Amino acid sequence: MLDIRTINKRYGTRQVLTDVSFGVESGRLTGFVGANGAGKTTTMRIILGVLSADSGTVLQDGVPLTSDDRRRFGYMPEERGLYPKMKVGEHLVYLARLHGLGPASARRNTAELLDRLGLGERAGDLVQSLSLGNQQRAQIAAALVHDPEFLVLDEPFSGLDPLAVEVVMSVLSGFAAQGAPVLFSSHQLDIVERLCDDVVIIADGEIRANGPRERLREQHSSPRFELRTAADAEWIHTVPGISVLDLSGGVAVFEAETDAASQSVLRQALTRAPVTQFSQQRPSLATIFKEIVQ
């Protein structure tokens, strides 16, 4: 469990982070969402200790992070980069050894990881000879090669083709499943929606929302329901406390003033015809994001 507590950061006269606080839970994928310049990269750099905060602390299991702790982190910076003239395999072994792995385990981890990411056959190629997508995979491998206890990835999905996105998603979920906290930022809200357990939304250097994805969706749900029944649902206009937004045959979209009103619609529907669907409409992450940020 990682705790980011009231981080403030100022560049010159510009306040880039204001009292940023959130938690990253072990074994869960946390998506970090925000517009360009909202403060995602700065926050991640502060977590990794590459930048120092003006105030605030980062705690791991309640204890402030030291540089030794951070060495067990896996980090994929926003600005990608590996040595262009090094072989992919050697590069990963080098990074693993800098993290303290012995030669044998460094080579083993490298081989396993390259295979998982579909780069097994490119281990002997120079980094600069890889396609952009493959360089991106190698970059992800660089963040994972030392079996990190905690993963911080800045935009791990940008520049990946759909196939590679699936591969990286499965690698990240696998990592979280082993108990490591994973924090990653992304512009691709659909990916965050599919992948993340928790979501943190940042705008203008302030955390606007943060918590389990589903709770967030519930909090931002409107009192809007959808009903699908086998028979015509004209009767729904007569239910008190209900305003119908759309009705065509057995499909109705309506807003309910109270929970009791929506439940009475369901009860009446069941007495008239088989109900195939009755649901509260939940907003997508993209909708919530727009709503929160604006």
Q: State which of positions 219-258 bind another protein (CB under 8 A).
A: none
Whole-angstrom Cα Rg for the chain: 24
- Interior angle at CA 27, CA 146 and CA 59, nearest 5: 75
CA–CA distance, 262 with 176 (Å, rounded to integer): 39
* Interface with another protein, residue 81, by CB under 8 A: yes
Q: Should residue 92 be labelled a site residue for another protein when binding is judged by CB under 8 A?
A: no
Residue 59 sits in the site that holds another protein (CB under 8 A): no
Q: Which of 115, 161, 190, 214 is the binder for another protein (CB under 8 A)?
A: 214
Written as six digits, the tokens of 109 are 């981890």
Among the listed residues 9, 40, 122, 213, the single contact to another protein using CB under 8 A: 213
Q: Smallest distance, Å, CB 281 to another protein?
A: 17
Give me the residues paired with residue 169 across strands. Answer: none
Stretch that binds another protein, among 25-33, 115-123, 230-238, 273-281 (CB under 8 A): 25-33
Query: Any idea what the Cα angle at residue 203 is, between residues 200 and 207, rounded to 5°?
Result: 45
For the CB of residue 178, give the shortest distance to another protein in the complex, in Å: 5
Q: Is 290 in the site for another protein (CB under 8 A)?
A: no
Three-state secondary-structure class, residue 210 = strand
Residue 158 CB, shortest distance to another protein, in Å, is 14
CB of 186 to another protein, least distance (A): 15
Sheet harboring 29-34: ordered strands across?
73-76, 150-154, 182-185, 29-34, 198-203, 206-212
Q: Which stretch binds another protein (CB under 8 A): 164-172, 224-232, 248-256, 275-283?
A: 164-172
**Residue 146 interacts with another protein (CB under 8 A)?**
yes
Given 149, 204, 206, 232, the residue binding another protein (CB under 8 A)? 149
Contact between 212 and another protein per CB under 8 A: yes
Q: Is 190 in the site for another protein (CB under 8 A)?
A: no
Q: How far is residue 78 from each of residues 27, 44, 89, 139, 238, measured CA to CA in Å?
A: 23, 9, 22, 11, 56
Q: Which of 179, 234, 266, 270 binds another protein (CB under 8 A)?
A: 179
Contact 177, 206 (CB under 8 A): no
Our measurement of the distance from residue 183's CA atom to the centroid of its chain's CA atoms, rounded to an integer in Å, reads: 7
Residue selected from 215, 235, 273, 274 as contacting another protein according to rule CB under 8 A: 215
Q: How many residues does the chain have?
A: 294
DSSP 167-198: HHHHHHHHHHHTT--EEEE-S-HHHHHHH-SE
Q: Which is nearer to another protein, 51 or 247 (CB)?
A: 51
Amino acid at 5: R
User: x/- site string to another protein, residues 100 to 119, per CB under 8 A?
Assistant: xx---x--------------
Residue 9 touches another protein, criterion: CB under 8 A: no
Q: Which of 5, 10, 72, 228 contacts another protein by CB under 8 A?
A: 72
Nearest CA among 45, 38, 33 for reference residue 186 = 33
Distance between CA atoms of residues 161 and 226, nearest Å: 35
Q: Interface with another protein includes 37 (CB under 8 A)?
A: no
Q: Where along the sequence are the contacts to another protein (CB under 8 A)?
A: 25-28, 48-51, 67-68, 70-73, 75, 77, 79-86, 94-95, 97-101, 105, 142-143, 146-149, 166, 169-170, 173, 177-180, 194-195, 197, 212-215
